[in-house]
Structure 1
Amino acid sequence: MTELADRGHATWFDTAMPDAVRDGEADVIVAQRTCLPGPSAVFQRMARENHARMVYEIDDDLFAVDPSNRHAHQFFGLNISAHTRVGLDGSLERTPYFDDGLRARMIENIRVAHMVTVTTEPLADVVSQWNDNVVVLPNQVPAWLLDHERPTAGDLVTVGWRGGDSHGRDFGELAKPLRGFLQRPASRGQVEFHAMGADYTPRVASRHVRTRHTAWTAGVADFLKKVDFDLAVVPLRDTRFNQSKSDLAVLEMAALGIPAITSDAGPYATVHGGPNIPCSTSAQWTAALAELVENPEYRVQLGKQAREWAASRTIEGNAHLWEEAYEQ
């Protein structure tokens, strides 16, 4: 939205719709993941009455949330929502309830929208069963990442991972080979594991393994400025949900000049040809880790290639895609 504003468009974003916008004082209204009763009713009414061009935006396959992502699965998968009630002490409290209309509302929001925007082709295939006008707008990164000089951890080679606490089973694809690699004598005092976001360091910790954890920060930019990886690991299970995921994790690392070792699944599969080293077995993970840790020149070369690839995926260089989509 900021880049569109810089291009001369009047933009606004918030978690609630002001009355002026609801009354029709906007050309395009984008609703992201809208599924609760009140907002869905407003979105559907405005779409049917053509108050503005109504766009439904969705960036994950919310119809296939993995049960390992407990909170999201409860909300989207089991249709557990929440409402506010007055407790015995007079205070307001949030109470879960079964919302059997949640998926139906999402589908209806998609169906009535003038256009649906998604981040990947597989996700477009999912939502196109309800709306023919689906536009793929791939995730992009801010251009400043391409020039940012990331901090370093001194003489240690830092193997890094970033992500949220919903990736427990994804991390399971990597935990055993990474722990074994970090425990080997050649890694002691030479290599560390740095988890950013959720803390998965206990999954690889042992007496001879060096680990660090950095919690989430309030802003995405501040978080990315703290990334000090020499190489990134991006494990991903081969699930229906992950098939529709975007390549944002690798894209962010690539923009920082960090080569990535990934699972051979979803957006990181071999056939996609991204700037990553895809692995499908523990032996492949171990070999890729050894190759990048023990060959600093090769690691730097791959990082440069990754950054060159990421240069074509900036917000500033691709904002026209959003302009063109919204002007349809």
Structure 2
Amino acid sequence: MRLGVLYTTDVYNSIYRAVLPGEALRRKGHDVRLIRHDEYTRVPMEHFVDREVVHIFRRHDKVVAKFVDQLRARGIGITYDNDDDLRLAPQESEFFKKHRATGINKYFREQVAMMRRAHLITTTTQTLADRWAQEVDRPIEVVPNFVGDQHFVKTPRNTEGVVVGWVAGIEHIADARRLQITQVLQRVMEKRPEVKVVTMGVRLDLDATRYTHHEHIPMHRLGEYVRKFDVGIAPLADIPMSYARSDIKVKEYSAVGVPWLASNRGPYTYLQPKNGGLLVEDDAWEAALLEMVSSKWKRAQLRRCAERWARSQRIDKHIDRWAAVWQQTADMAKQAAAA
């Protein structure tokens, strides 16, 4: 197969929805061309005119819309990946504050217009697939996020105290506020003086002597930072966005052997201790954290489960799911051209 992938570094999820699948298909022997393209700049059409299928991740500006129209006119198949419903942005998020309802609806209409241009749509969850089905009459395939080789680092672990870590975009402040994660962690720190907290992205109001906040960690170094966690957390509040999220956060923790605690909600409800962590009800975060930080044996047991599960979630073990989507799209384009 001759596949073209158009992705942007503006959105972190492009790693999972475009780059890792494209690279994995290339390792299978296919002709794959990955092209990074930033918003409002010329799309290098010459890199795509010989492709059977072009995969586009979540872009919706006019430049890319015109590019897609030109590809379809040449009989090239288009897959469009959309893993985020902008309308679900919580009011506490920077995106919501910046764009409010009018801007968000405008962006969403542009995304819908792009989905209607595609032969086939891919997304991360059935929740999102159902939402897209209300907007477009196109085949929609659910392909979960998987981890790549760069997630499996073997750098040193933490050797002092017990580190509770949370990797989360700044929009997760909505989850922190509704579940009172700051207050929970503060009480845990008061009861267990060996506990320290590290967050990446979202910022919490905690005692600076035992709390470290990283605003941004480069993707290629994220694993070495996360590997120093003794416990990773993934809290999700009872808000609409939580039910559309993917499970990639706990897969990232598991890839570096970090046992995790996750809300019993949305993408995590199917998980079990054999996957490397425990599910937590909204009112049980303090008790769950105290149990984990107090038991080195429990953490070691879950770490082994996490590492084993993460190996089963490598993109190379699941690339056939993406390959089938792209082959289906190529066939659809050929049939349309013949008609």
Q: Aligned partners of 1:183, 1:150: CA distance in 2, in Å?
A: 30
- Asked if structure 2 preserves the Cα contact closer than 8 Å seen for 1:69 and 1:166, the reply is yes
Q: Aligned partners of 1:304, 1:195: CA distance in 2, in Å?
A: 23
- Asked if structure 1 preserves the Cα contact closer than 8 Å seen for 2:188 and 2:195, the reply is no
Q: Aligned partners of 2:145, 2:307: CA distance in 1, in Å?
A: 16
Percent sequence identity over aligned pairs: 24
Once the two structures are TM-superposed, the CA of residue 45 in structure 1 deviates from its matched residue by 5.2
**Consecutive unaligned residues in structure 1, runs of 5 or more:** 81-99
Once the two structures are TM-superposed, the CA of residue 73 in structure 1 deviates from its matched residue by 6.0
Match of 2:165 in 1: 160
For residue 89 of structure 2, the aligned residue among 31, 53, 65 is: 65
Deviations 1:209-229 (A, max 9, x none): 6112334233x1212222210
For residue 199 of structure 2, the aligned residue among 186, 195, 199 is: 195
Match of 1:35 in 2: 60
**Consecutive unaligned residues in structure 2, runs of 5 or more:** 1-21, 329-339
Q: Aligned partners of 2:288, 2:106: CA distance in 1, in Å?
A: 46
Report matched runs for 1:221-236 at 5 Å. Answer: 221-227=220-226, 228-236=228-236
Match of 2:265 in 1: 265
Q: Aligned partners of 2:250, 2:303: CA distance in 1, in Å?
A: 11
- Asked if structure 2 preserves the Cα contact closer than 8 Å seen for 1:268 and 1:276, the reply is no
AA aligned opposite 2:302? L
Q: Does 1:281 align with 2:282?
A: yes
AA aligned opposite 1:39? V
Report matched runs for 1:36-185 at 5 Å. Answer: 36-44=61-69, 46-47=71-72, 49=73, 51-71=75-95, 74-75=98-99, 77-79=101-103, 101-129=106-134, 130-143=136-149, 145-146=151-152, 148-172=153-177, 173=179, 174-184=181-191
Once the two structures are TM-superposed, the CA of residue 44 in structure 1 deviates from its matched residue by 4.1
Match of 1:213 in 2: 213
Specify the SS of the correspondent of 2:35.
coil
CA root-mean-square deviation: 2.3
Deviations 1:67-113 (A, max 9, x none): 22222564484326xxxxxxxxxxxxxxxxxxx75332321221231
Specify the SS of the correspondent of 1:277.
strand
Q: Aligned partners of 2:158, 2:323: CA distance in 1, in Å?
A: 41
Larger radius of gyration: 1
Q: Aligned partners of 2:96, 2:50: CA distance in 1, in Å?
A: 34
Q: Quickly say closer, same or farther: Cα 1:76–1:118, change in 2 above 3 A.
A: farther
Deviations 1:238-274 (A, max 9, x none): 22122110011111001111111122222123x4545
- Asked if structure 2 preserves the Cα contact closer than 8 Å seen for 1:159 and 1:232, the reply is yes
Deviations 1:110-134 (A, max 9, x none): 1231010101121111112213411
Specify the SS of the correspondent of 2:238.
coil
Q: Aligned partners of 2:197, 2:165: CA distance in 1, in Å?
A: 6
Aligned residues between the structures: 296
Deviations 1:162-218 (A, max 9, x none): 12222111122222111111112xx11x11111123433xx2327xx6112334233
Once the two structures are TM-superposed, the CA of residue 7 in structure 1 deviates from its matched residue by 2.5
Once the two structures are TM-superposed, the CA of residue 41 in structure 1 deviates from its matched residue by 3.5
Q: Does 1:294 align with 2:316?
A: no
Q: Does 1:313 align with 2:334?
A: no
Q: Aligned partners of 1:45, 1:159: CA distance in 2, in Å?
A: 50
Compare the two structures and name the one with the higher helix fraction. 2
Match of 2:255 in 1: 255
Report matched runs for 1:234-249 at 5 Å. Answer: 234-249=234-249
**TM-score, structure 1 length as denominator?**
0.82
- Asked if structure 2 preserves the Cα contact closer than 8 Å seen for 1:62 and 1:76, the reply is no
Once the two structures are TM-superposed, the CA of residue 326 in structure 1 deviates from its matched residue by 0.4
Q: Quickly say closer, same or farther: Cα 1:101–1:262, change in 2 above 3 A.
A: closer
Q: Quickly say closer, same or farther: Cα 1:162–1:101, change in 2 above 3 A.
A: closer
Match of 2:46 in 1: 20
Q: Aligned partners of 2:28, 2:188: CA distance in 1, in Å?
A: 48
**TM-score, structure 2 length as denominator?**
0.80
- Asked if structure 1 preserves the Cα contact closer than 8 Å seen for 2:175 and 2:236, the reply is yes
